[in-house]
Structure 1
Amino acid sequence: MSGVRSSTLLVLVFCTAEILSMAGFALVPSLLPRLSHDWSLSATAAGWLGGVYFLGYILAVPLLVSLTDRVDARRIHLACAALNGLALTGFALLADGFVAALGWWWLAGLALAGTYMPGLKALTDRLPAAAQSRGTAFYTATFGVGVGLSYLWIELAQRHLAWPVLFALAAACAALSVLLIWFAVAPAASAPSLRSHATHWRLVLGDRRILAFCGAYFGHNWELFGFRAWLVACLVWSHDRSPDSWTSMPGVVAAVATFLAVPASILGNEGAHRWGRGRWLRTVMPLSCMLALVVAGLSDRPGHVLVPLLLVYAASMNLDSAALTAGLVSETAGDRRGTALALYSAVGFAGGCIGPLAFGIALDTFGRVDPAGWAAGFASLAFGVGLGRWAIGRNSETTSSAKR
């Protein structure tokens, strides 16, 4: 019983630190309409600003996460949580235009590479094997809690505070996450594998199951982060076109949409346990793709129609999230799990970089104030998750895996 209590407390600590470190996650998506106006950004430039966060992530994650196979992941998590605070402070004080904003927001994305998956590695390294799958599900679902709270507090605060102050407050939360892990989680002795770093990468790159999970995560993040980057802007456009109480507070809608990721992600992992991971993923990913196309077709409807549909879609796109990550963790040997997570994160968040950009290009191509532009943007999300479904289906060993 004491082991159960200690495992629960450990999960709670890491989940709380994750929420604190992600307080600034929604700053650029939430402020994108204001920043676009202030800096006269095109939709493509705004898409770059939304996606550069994930570019920083994917450039750093192969090194930072694979390093956790050789050193305690807690050390990496602490250093990058501090770097996150520095990047947010730099944005608050020095971002006076598009180029400077790109640099600081890129650095914040790089910091996420050293907190999100290294945090998961630090957690699972300290959990007994029987608790790892559900611990992973709760940790990955907490990502949605962090994003949702980020949207919510920014929506409520931006009406009263200048945007640099919002970045400074998020930097303070990042500092609190450093203190929490520093004092609540004891260092662990590193137990490096006898295999070389290059051998780890060869084994991971040669494992078709791992590659299938990576490809599916690419499609998932293309859809998810493309949706999150443009959701507030879509609701602002909808409200300007046809004022509606449902779209009058877009940040609150974005927060609710993100909070729905939490039960959807946890239930998705339980569904994978019950019906088999492969069968579950082959079902829920096409469902999400279909709903993206429905939203594309109805994106010009008034808020009382559009918002409930967006919320259903937001929940559906998270039914695969924890099932994918828990599947990768459970099917990878512990001594190379960090390297597998590094590849998984790099490939997956490449989708997170491309998704917002593809949406922005679609808007510029078909018209930012035209319903056809927003329909094309949501169709680009369907294309992304469709790629993920194709990737997971390429590996019969993964898609026919037993219940886990």
Structure 2
Amino acid sequence: MCIGQVGNLLPHVTLSANLAQHLMPAWGLSAAEGGLMASGYAFGYMLAVPVLTTLTDRIDARLVLLWGSIVSGLATAAFGIFAQGFWSATAIWSLAGLGFAGAYMPGLKALTDRLPPGDTSRAVTLYTSSFSVGVGLSFLAAQLIADHWGWRTAFLVTGFGPIAMVVACLLMQGQRPAPKAGRLLNFAPVFANREALGYILGYGAHCFELYGIRTWLVGFWTFVVAHQGAPSWLSPVVLSFCFAVISMPASILGNEAALKFGRHRAITIVMIASACVALIIGLNATAPAWALALLLLVYGLTVPADSGALTAGMSAAAVSEHRGATLALHSTVGFGLSALGAWGTGAALDAAGGPQSARGWLLVFIVLAVGIAVGPLALLWARTSSLR
């Protein structure tokens, strides 16, 4: 499942990796338009995930995972062939996000349905943290292919990645969930579960920050290289790959800390630390490249360190008969705020001077810091509400 997910994620940041250097100049887009185009993926995901993930309470999640992976791959390849500007690109990229909505959380459901009874937090964390490996490979492949053969080829090649999950689905043993009565989209039991809701809202804050920085990481480092210079080996390709790949051990260690010291405490500390690092980067956008590279690698540790603990906490708090609906709301909130993070940071960049302005990047990192700082408030609200 983890290998299949890495394949499913190969298209994931192909657009973000080529946004500042290729797509925005080719189509004359502003940063806000570029951010909105990138957010189409998260928006398509947000629209589809409530239905597709809740559906896994009624049919085998493997089937949803299979077809979601197929749609994701085909839409990514279609972007390389048919995208001609802002509107067509946004529409096709939204379709790719819709396909991924059938691939990520339904994949988690397919995995947890097949795990033995007991604490599954480490298995869940391994699955969620392998997300980072897939994103790292997506950054690497998308930029290297685009630099040598053009951005359209990058979309075509990464569109083949989901075949790995298609193979995993075909090898997986089928299951028949127990018949469920009532409405498909019934989130009332999830909203009543304040413990799970706290993790869901915290996950939304995490996704806002994560998608915001992933959308503009290559653009920010391009600014740094242009204004401060950097060693030839420290290119946007290398930096973005390292930023993504170190997320996997960070997520695993974050979950281990949550198991040892308590989820709420560990997640809160990580989120506050991440907000502080974001502010430091923004205030030092014109610092030497080596110093910014170190700060970005620290940020690459703090941004994902809460991810596994948040998802494992939500999964543990979910009532078994409503786990699909809980996963659906988790993803809807998360990717809805992902879309807001991509567009909001782009709008902030435009408002403060654009991609060539240090003030613009300062405002981007302030927005990211404010976004993740909402997470501890959500966890505090959930805890105080459950104690009443």
TM category, shorter: over 0.9
The runs of 4+ residues in structure 1 deviating greater than 4 Å are 397-400
Please provide the CA RMSD for this pair. 1.6
Which residue of the partner structure matches residue 374 of structure 1?
361
8 Å CA contact 1:246–1:307 kept in 2: the answer is no
Q: TM-score, normalised by structure 2?
A: 0.96
8 Å CA contact 1:15–1:139 kept in 2: the answer is yes
1:274 equivalent among 257, 260, 279: 260
1:388 equivalent among 357, 375, 381: 375
Residue type at the aligned position of 1:277 = R
Mapping of residues 27-42 of structure 1, within 5 Å: 27-33=14-20, 34-42=22-30
How far does residue 302 in structure 1 lie from its aligned partner after superposition?
Answer: 2.4
Distance in 1 of aligned mates of 2:233 and 2:287: 12
Which residue of the partner structure matches residue 287 of structure 1?
273
Q: From the superposition, tell whether residues 44 and 82 of structure 1 become closer, same or farther in structure 2 (CA, over 3 Å).
A: same
Distance in 1 of aligned mates of 2:384 and 2:357: 44
Which residue of the partner structure matches residue 291 of structure 2?
305
Q: From the superposition, tell whether residues 192 and 271 of structure 1 become closer, same or farther in structure 2 (CA, over 3 Å).
A: farther
How far does residue 388 in structure 1 lie from its aligned partner after superposition?
Answer: 1.6
Q: From the superposition, tell whether residues 352 and 199 of structure 1 become closer, same or farther in structure 2 (CA, over 3 Å).
A: closer
8 Å CA contact 2:140–2:241 kept in 1: the answer is yes
Q: TM-score, normalised by structure 1?
A: 0.92
**1:168 matches 2:156:** yes
Residue type at the aligned position of 1:58 = M
How far does residue 199 in structure 1 lie from its aligned partner after superposition?
Answer: 8.6
Distance in 2 of aligned mates of 1:280 and 1:133: 15
1:349-378 CA-partner distances (Å, limit 9, x unpaired): 111111111111111111112111000001
8 Å CA contact 2:221–2:236 kept in 1: the answer is yes
1:130 equivalent among 102, 118, 136: 118
Which residue of the partner structure matches residue 3 of structure 1?
none
**3-state SS in 2 of match to 1:319:** coil
Distance in 2 of aligned mates of 1:214 and 1:176: 29
**1:261 matches 2:247:** yes
**1:159 matches 2:159:** no
Residue type at the aligned position of 1:171 = G
1:337 equivalent among 323, 329, 340: 323
Which residue of the partner structure matches residue 130 of structure 2?
142
How far does residue 246 in structure 1 lie from its aligned partner after superposition?
Answer: 6.6
**3-state SS in 2 of match to 1:169:** helix
Q: For structure 1, which segment, 163-172 or 114-123, has the greater mean C-alpha deviation from structure 2 after superposition? A: 163-172
**1:223 matches 2:209:** yes
**1:99 matches 2:87:** yes
Distance in 1 of aligned mates of 2:31 and 2:350: 6
Which residue of the partner structure matches residue 79 of structure 1?
67
Q: From the superposition, tell whether residues 327 and 174 of structure 1 become closer, same or farther in structure 2 (CA, over 3 Å).
A: same
Distance in 2 of aligned mates of 1:354 and 1:199: 23
Residue type at the aligned position of 2:294 = P
How far does residue 176 in structure 1 lie from its aligned partner after superposition?
Answer: 3.4
Which residue of the partner structure matches residue 209 of structure 1?
195
Q: For structure 1, which segment, 244-253 or 331-340, has the greater mean C-alpha deviation from structure 2 after superposition? A: 244-253
2:106 equivalent among 115, 118, 123: 118
Distance in 2 of aligned mates of 1:162 and 1:35: 11
Percent identity, aligned pairs only? 36
Q: From the superposition, tell whether residues 115 and 300 of structure 1 become closer, same or farther in structure 2 (CA, over 3 Å).
A: same
Distance in 1 of aligned mates of 2:322 and 2:233: 46
Distance in 1 of aligned mates of 2:119 and 2:195: 22
In structure 2, runs of 5+ residues without a counterpart are none
In structure 1, runs of 5+ residues without a counterpart are 1-13
Q: For structure 1, which segment, 60-69 or 327-336, has the greater mean C-alpha deviation from structure 2 after superposition? A: 327-336
Q: From the superposition, tell whether residues 25 and 398 of structure 1 become closer, same or farther in structure 2 (CA, over 3 Å).
A: farther
8 Å CA contact 2:3–2:164 kept in 1: the answer is no
